[in-house]
């Protein structure tokens, strides 16, 4: 019997504080930015399909206190409706590891114009994508990195663990992972990125190491597309995955 008074109050508040939400109108030309250490800069295009906006851009890390040797030019620029702007990321030349790939973040924030009407909620929408810095002279290449990962099953105290190692020099972004034996299928995680030299371990709830299940996963490449890999897991030795020839 208390529902109607509260409902009336809720509707009244919505009417009193009604707002118009400004939607993001900018888009980036790629979902990740690859910085080749052989060059002094890398570029990405920002397109605006909405109202005129200011674009503020910068590079940072997950550590708010850490500084990064990158600058974005222009750091602040006005982009009109239907226009595009190239952002250039410039490396200072020192400060990043030279023996492996590193990852930082490129931030592109849309700052809308001041509202012309009252009771208008405007949001400064920020897009944040990974910037992969690859120093010159690294061995192999990023396309081989998913096939360099090693996988192994371990049985400890009656529990099965999936071990993953990255002995290579590049980060590998993994998605759509599946471990299957017969009718039993598990997804140890949704998606993740493993860094050079990193090792991870995931619990399997139902599968046993002795069943030698089949592993399949997708690796996200430089263009944001997904490449499919498969392997037959074992508890006796580490295995590497191969490109899935049946994948379209």
Q: Give pLDDT tens digits for 179-224.
A: 999 999 999 999 999 999 999 999 999 988 888 899 999 999 999 9
Q: What share of the chain is helix, strand, coil (3-state, %, to 5)?
A: 10, 50, 45
Domain end (from 103, 134, 165): 134
Residues in the chain: 248
Provide the number of structural domains found in the chain.
Answer: 2
Please determine, for residue 122, whether its predicted confidence score (pLDDT) is greater than 90: no
223: CB partners within 8 A, 6+ apart: 30
Query: Of 47, 45, 109, 43, whose CA–CA distance to 70 is shortest?
Result: 43
Q: Are residues 191 and 106 in the same domain?
A: no
Query: Of 107, 134, 161, which closes a domain?
Result: 134
How far from 148 is each of 34, 143, 165, 189, CA to CA, in Å?
A: 20, 10, 9, 20
Kindly state the percentage of the chain with pLDDT values over 90.
Answer: 70
- Mean pLDDT over residues 106-123, rounded? 74
Q: Could you tell me whether strands 41-48 and 26-28 are parallel, antiparallel, or unpaired per DSSP bridges?
A: antiparallel
> Which pLDDT belongs to residue 156?
82
Q: Does 162 lie in the same domain as 225?
A: yes
Q: Are residues 46 and 128 in the same domain?
A: yes
Most confident of 49-58, 132-141, 168-177: 168-177
pLDDT reported for residue 210: 81
- Residue ending a domain, among 134, 168, 187, is 134
Q: Are residues 196 and 151 part of one domain?
A: yes
pLDDT greater than 80 at residue 123 = no
Q: What is the CATH number of the domain that holds 83?
A: 2.60.40.10
Rounded Cα distance, 134 and 149, in Å? 19
Domain annotation covers residue 187: yes
235 and 213 within one domain: yes
Q: Are residues 162 and 228 in the same domain?
A: yes
Domain limits at 117?
Answer: 23-134
Q: Does residue 17 lie in a domain region?
A: no
Prediction pTM value: 0.84
Q: Are residues 125 and 166 in the same domain?
A: no
User: Is residue 172 within 8 Å of 166, Cβ to Cβ?
Assistant: yes
Q: Which of 74, 56, 55, 62 is nearest to 104 (CA)?
A: 62
Arithmetic mean of pLDDT, 227-238: 94
Quote the CA–CA distance of 193 and 117 in Å, as a whole number: 44
Q: Is residue 91 part of a domain?
A: yes
> What is the pLDDT at residue 23?
46
pLDDT at 70: 97
């Amino acid at each position: 019997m208390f529902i109607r008074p509260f409902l009336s109050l809720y509707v009244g508040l919505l009417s009193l504080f009604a707002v118009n939400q400004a939607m993001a109108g900018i888009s980036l030309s790629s979902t990740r930015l690859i910085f080749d250490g052989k060059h002094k800069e890398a570029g990405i295009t920002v397109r605006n399909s909405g109202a005129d906006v200011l674009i503020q851009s910068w590079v940072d890390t997950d550590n708010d206190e850490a500084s990064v040797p990158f600058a974005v030019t222009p750091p602040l620029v006005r982009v009109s409706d239907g226009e595009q702007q190239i952002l250039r990321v410039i490396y200072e030349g020192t400060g990043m590891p030279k023996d492996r790939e590193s990852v930082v973040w490129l931030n592109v924030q849309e700052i809308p114009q001041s509202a012309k009407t009252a009771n208008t909620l405007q949001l400064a929408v920020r897009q944040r994508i990974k910037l992969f810095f690859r120093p010159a002279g690294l061995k192999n290449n990023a396309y081989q990195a998913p096939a360099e990962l090693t996988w192994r099953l371990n049985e400890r105290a009656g529990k099965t663990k999936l071990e993953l190692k990255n002995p290579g020099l590049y980060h590998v972004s993994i998605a759509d992972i599946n471990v299957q034996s017969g009718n039993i299928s598990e997804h140890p995680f949704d998606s993740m990125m493993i860094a050079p030299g990193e090792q991870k371990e995931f619990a399997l709830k139902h599968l046993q190491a002795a069943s030698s299940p089949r592993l399949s996963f997708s690796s996200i490449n430089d263009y944001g597309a997904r490449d499919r890999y498969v392997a037959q897991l074992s508890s006796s030795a580490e295995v590497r995955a191969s490109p899935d020839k049946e994948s379209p």
